[in-house]
A and B are shown apart, each in its own frame.
Chain A
Amino acid sequence: MSNVVHAPRLALAMLAALALAACSQNKDVAAGDPGHASGQHGSSSSAGLPGGRIPIGEQLASAKGKATGQSCIDCHGAEGNAPIDPTYPLLGGQYADYLAHSLQAYRAGDRQHALMTSQATGLSDQDISDLAAYFGSRPTKLRDLHGL
């Protein structure tokens, strides 16, 4: 049998694997897991972000943004857990890959906020990964809806 005969089957199998991956429900991931952006899984996310570095993210979190003159923690509070405004979200312990996605969305204009759009515009992919890894690693007041 030549490889040519197997090629269609292989393609089908790969398609099936992709479909399964698209539906994946990773139930084993602990809530406190910093996730893809932390680099702890040894791979970047599908968004192509580099691994996140928590200590660098901690420094960035208190660095003033050029456009706003504000740092992350100026508005979201220490460890992202004490927002100064009720419309500002808690960040501490939020999934790092979601935080990274949010910053990418602000940067791309897919999500709008007077302050956050400016704040995210100057961030590199590495900055986003580092910030996401830091806030994702903090204690959290958040939870999912499992078991409710």
Chain B
Amino acid sequence: MMRPLPLAALLAFAAALSVAAVTAQVAPETATVAAPAASDLAPAAAPVLVGNAENGRILAYTCQGCHGVTGYKNAYPSFRVPLIGGQSAEYTAQALHEYKAGNRKHPTMQAQAESFSSQDIADLSIYLSSLK
């Protein structure tokens, strides 16, 4: 049923796992989060990146141009850019790695993600997940 994931998706998955590990270290209250349901996939070896929320806050300045304007609309196709504050660090990291790998298409987001290191992504993801 589940087809093999492309390499990039595996990498993103591995990165998400890294962030999950980070979350467990940084925020003890989230340490009980269950392992990803897709854990039957062979996890690729990836360095565990500790997300730095303070650095993420600084990096997130560039996100403000679109995600900081309430109701800001993407044009053609027309849709409001998503609410990203409060989303899980694992999801956000995966999304950014997918943009970076070109598996998720959006010119602006692909360009942004390409400019981020894996550490930057970990930092941003931890920060964004902390927003309430």
Contacts and interface: CB of A to CB of B under 8 A. Distances in A.
B34 A143 contact: no
Main secondary structure of the interface of B (DSSP, over half): loop
A53 interface: no
Interface of B: 1-3, 5-6, 9, 13, 16, 20, 23, 33-34, 36-38, 60, 63-64, 67-91, 94, 98, 103-105, 131-132
A26 B73 contact: yes
Interface in A80-107: 83-90, 93-95, 97-98, 100-101, 104-105
A85 B67 CA distance: 24
Nearest to B129: A86
Interface of A: 21-31, 33, 35-36, 45-47, 67-68, 75, 83-90, 93-95, 97-98, 100-101, 104-105, 110-115, 140-148
A86 B68 contact: no
Contact of A146 (B33, B36, B68): B68
B70 A114 contact: no
B83 A89 contact: no
A145 B84 CA distance: 8
A80 B64 CA distance: 25
B87 A89 contact: yes
B104 A85 contact: no
A72 B38 CA distance: 16
User: Which of B63, B71, B88, B94 has the largest number of chain A CB atoms within 10 A?
Assistant: B71
Given A68-B1, A98-B80, A100-B79, A145 B38 contact: no
B5 A114 contact: yes
20 contacts: A24-B75, A25-B71, A26-B72, A27-B71, A85-B36, A87-B90, A87-B91, A87-B94, A88-B91, A90-B87, A95-B79, A97-B78, A97-B79, A98-B79, A100-B79, A105-B104, A111-B103, A115-B2, A144-B69, A146-B70
B77 A46 contact: yes
B83 A140 contact: yes
B71 A29 contact: yes
Nearest 4 interchain pairs by C-beta: A29-B71, A142-B83, A86-B90, A97-B79
B5 A27 contact: no
A87 B85 contact: no
B80 A145 contact: no
A148 B16 CA distance: 25
